[in-house]
Structure 1
Amino acid sequence: MTRLIQPGAEFRQLFHEFEHTVYRLETRNDYDASYEQDSFQRYLAGDPDDMPWMQSWLDLLRDAASHGRRFTRVRIVTVPLTDYSRFGVWCARLMNEAGEDIRYVTRDVAVAEELPTHDYWLFDSRKLVRMHFDDSNHFLGGEVIEDDAEIVQHNYWRDAAWHHAIERDDFAAQQGI
């Protein structure tokens, strides 16, 4: 049985309900999130930006970290990086400083390790939300998957991705960001 969650308040609530850990696997080289477009354009132009769209996320990360709750993320990226992926690596330093541990796996390693090609969130290793996007990389919503075998498989993928992942600062240095 699955249940769909639309972007917005119901989806955001998931990040306030978990007890211990949240994990995200990102598999796309580009995402179309309208709220970050101004910052992305400023990044490309080399202009300073305080990234107002990210502040509520950073607050959430700091609050979770202060209560011993952990956010982790692995991004699968194609090298050479797209402009958007470079922007993501740049942004990740702020997220890491706020308490989220973001790491990177190159696409060739992900393929060799048979990691999935879809994005997902895993809450407390037991609630799986598979992300859905349209052909333009715009987020459509999440599918809550309750099948135990599928949840176990996604936990395995989390562990395999984490094993091969490179810490953000080391990856940024490798990529010259």
Structure 2
Amino acid sequence: MPQFIDDDTFGTYFEEFAHVAWRLETRRGYASDREGERYQLFLTGELPLDTERPWCANVRAQTAAGKRFERVRIIDSPPTEEQRFLFESAASNNAAGEDIRNMWRDEADRLGLPAEDFWLFDSRYALRMHFDGKDGYLGAELVDEPAEVLRYCQIRDAAWHFAVPREEFRAQILAE
């Protein structure tokens, strides 16, 4: 059984990193998104920008200090409803300063990217995200063993190299 970090300290990782917080998202959906108000707005076709929520406020503060937030999302073809929601809601994150890019699942499979979600901080430690069979968040496991962190760095480098910025990816979705 993984050793999860204390949920109360989870947010501090996104304030105390020195240079780059990087995320790989591989799931087809997240229970927390489906349960949220913004997802319900998305289903009605009315998803406004929301750059004032705490996540975006922190991204703005950290990027103003010269730090970077980067993320690669793996997307199915065709995208699941939840992936379409994440893609559309990324506009708020991007406006706040987070660089979210996308990659088709076939490309991720061709590259041998693992089906695991994690945050990598400064190429020094990671938080491996754990979920149940219904996409419910179980907790985050701190990973600081050098060989495992190096593996995450290699995954990041491969994913980031082939990931596509949001607007370019939008054109690919519309072309399908």
What's the TM-score, normalizing by structure 1?
0.91
Match of 2:36 in 1: 37
State the SS of the aligned residue for 2:85. helix
> Paired residues, what number?
174
State the SS of the aligned residue for 1:33. helix
Structure 1 residues 25-174: aligned runs within 5 Å: 25-33=24-32, 37-49=36-48, 51=50, 55-174=53-172
**What is the CA–CA distance in structure 2 between the aligned matches of 1:126 and 1:105, rounded to whole Å?**
24
Task: State the 1:51 CA deviation.
Answer: 4.6
**What is the CA–CA distance in structure 2 between the aligned matches of 1:111 and 1:132, rounded to whole Å?**
20
For the aligned residue pairs, the C-alpha RMSD in angstroms reads 2.0
**Post-superposition CA distance 1:8-47 (Å, at most 9, x none):** x211111111011000000001001168622111111113
**What is the CA–CA distance in structure 2 between the aligned matches of 1:124 and 1:92, rounded to whole Å?**
22
**What is the CA–CA distance in structure 2 between the aligned matches of 1:62 and 1:36, rounded to whole Å?**
26
State the SS of the aligned residue for 2:43. helix
Identify unmatched segments of 5+ residues in structure 1. Answer: none
Identify unmatched segments of 5+ residues in structure 2. Answer: none
Residue 94 to residue 60, structure 1, CA distance change in 2 (3 Å):
same
Task: State the 1:158 CA deviation.
Answer: 0.2
**What is the CA–CA distance in structure 1 between the aligned matches of 2:110 and 2:149, rounded to whole Å?**
22
**What is the CA–CA distance in structure 1 between the aligned matches of 2:90 and 2:20, rounded to whole Å?**
18
The structure whose RCO (Cα within 8 Å, separation 6+) is larger is 1
What's the TM-score, normalizing by structure 2?
0.92
Task: State the 1:6 CA deviation.
Answer: 4.0
8 A Cα contact 1:93 1:169, kept in partner? no
8 A Cα contact 1:119 1:131, kept in partner? yes
Identity of aligned residues (%): 40
2:12 partner amino acid: Q
**Post-superposition CA distance 1:145-169 (Å, at most 9, x none):** 1211111011000000001101011
**What is the CA–CA distance in structure 2 between the aligned matches of 1:21 and 1:137, rounded to whole Å?**
26
1:151 partner amino acid: V
**Post-superposition CA distance 1:125-164 (Å, at most 9, x none):** 1111110011111111111112111110110000000011
